[in-house]
Amino acid sequence: MLAPGQKRMFALACSLALGLTLAVFSYGAFASAARVTIYTPQGTAFCARSGGQAPAVFQTQIFLVAFDYFRVLEGPFGPEQITVDITFPDGRVFTYSASQALDGVIDMPVNSPVGSRFAANGAGQLSLNVQVPGTWPYGCYTITGRGLAGAIHTGSANFVVIPGGQPGPSGGPASMRVTRNGVDAAEAQQGDIVEVDGRGFVGGELVSLWLTAPDGTVLDFPPGQQVVQTTPAGAFSTSFQFEGKNPVGDYIFTALGQTSGSRVFAGFALRPRPVQQSGPAQLQVVVPFDRGSPQRTVFYANGNLFWPGERVDIWLTLPDGAVRGFPSPFADAVAGQFMVELALDERLPTGFYQLTAQGAESRQLVIAGFTLEQSAGTVPDPGFSPEAGLDNNPATPPDTPFNNPNPANPDEYGNPDE
C-alpha cells in the first residue's frame, strides 16, 4: 500500500504493461451495437454482479477501456460524444470525473457529466486509460459508455478491484498497536478516539500512517497527523477519532517508516453506537404513489407526536453503518408534526437505510427503515444535445441534504450530541 504522501496520479497517457487480459464485453440497453472492452494486467476475478469472471485490477493501477461501434455523425457536429459512468459494487453511480475525486468517506462530489464526455474518432471508437484510486473499494464494477447522438448507443462491461498489489508487513523489530482511548481493547464505537502506538522504528524517522476501511477503501489520517516523527528510541504515539461518517466493521491501520522501510499493520473493529427508541413519537418514510424507491427519488419523512415547536434532529444510517446528518426541522407548534424531503441520488449506495429522529427537548427517539434501489446505472446529462453541441453546464444534482450539515450537530455528519 502506498503511503498517502507518496500517492501520485499517473498520467492518463501512461502505457499499460504487457500481458493485458482481454475482458469479455457486454452490450448495453436499446439493442445497441456499441461495445465496451476492458484490458487489465491482473487476469480475472469473480464478479458478484454477473456471477462470472471479469478482468481484475489492483488499486493504484491503470487499465484500458476500449469503446467501439458508436455513431459517426455527419455534418458540423463530428463524431459522437460519449459519456462515461462507473457503477460501484455498492450500487453508487459516478461520472468518470467524479469517480476520480472521491475522498473515501463522504464521497459526494458534484456528479457532473462535464469532464466525463469524450469524442469518438471518425470510426466511432474511443480508448480511455482509467486510474483506480485507493478510494475505490474492492468488488465488481460496471463501466458504461453512453453515446449522446440521437438514438442513444449504450455499452457496458464489468471489472473487479481486488485486494493486493502492495507489499505486506516487513520483518524487523517494528510493531504497532491500536487501542480504544484508555482501554486495552482493539474495538470501539463510532465517536470514540483510539490510540495508535508504534515501536521499533529508526530513531527520529518520519512514519506515514493510513488505514484501510472494511470495504478496502484507503483512508488518510486527518491533516497534520498523516506523518509523525519517532522519538530517539524509535517510538511514536498519536490518535485517531472514528466518527459517525465512518462505516462499521474491521479496519487495518498501516504505518510505514520512510527511512527504515519498516511496514507494520494493526487491526481494529469499529462498532455502531447503540440507539434505543423511546416515547410515543412516530416517523414514516414514504415515496410518491405508484413509484418504487430508486436513486434520484425524493422521499418524504413525516414525524408526529413530538413536543410542539421543538427542534427535531434527524440522521440517516447507511447500509454500511455510516451515519449522515441532516438539517434539523422544527415540529409545528400545534400537533408536534414535521415533514422533510430527502433527495437521495445515485451517489448513495443501494440497500437498507434507517432514518432516526430525536426531539431536542423531549428526547423522544424513533427510527424508520426503507430501501434504496438501483437507478438506471447512468448519470443524467441534460446539458447536451447533438444539435446544440456541448454547453459545458454541469448537470445540477438534487438538493441532497448531505451537502447541508445538521446545524445542531458539531460533528457535521454524525449523530446529534447527547
Average pLDDT over residues 356-370: 96
Paired strand residues for 79:
72
Residue 18 CB partners (closer than 8 Å, separation 6+)? none
Query: Does residue 358 surpass a pLDDT of 90?
Result: yes
Contact 188, 180 (CB under 8 A): yes
Radius of gyration, CA atoms only, the chain: 24
Contact 100, 86 (CB under 8 A): no
CATH code for the domain defined by 282-403: 2.60.40.1930
Residue type, 166: Q
CATH code for the domain defined by 175-271: 2.60.40.1930
What percentage of the chain reaches a pLDDT higher than 90? 65
pTM of this structure? 0.83
Please, where in the chain does CATH 2.60.40.1930 lie?
4-161, 175-271, 282-403
**Hey, what's the cell of 33?**
451495437
Q: How far is CA 99 from CA 48, 130, 336, 403, in A?
A: 21, 10, 42, 18
Alpha carbons 147 and 158: distance in angstroms, whole number: 18
Tell me the fold of 4-161: Immunoglobulin-like (2.60.40)
Average pLDDT over residues 122-139: 94
At 147-183, the pLDDT tens digits run 887 666 889 999 999 998 888 888 889 999 999 998 9
Paired strand residues for 402:
none
At 297-319, the pLDDT tens digits run 889 999 999 999 999 999 999 99
Q: How confident is the model at residue 16 (pLDDT cuts 50, 70, 90)?
A: very low
Average pLDDT over residues 363-380: 88
At 34-87, the pLDDT tens digits run 899 999 999 999 999 999 999 999 999 999 999 998 877 655 566 788 999 999
Q: How far is CA 118 from CA 7, 67, 144, 306, in A?
A: 26, 10, 13, 52
Q: So what's the pLDDT on residue 36? A: 95
Alpha carbons 73 and 389: distance in angstroms, whole number: 12
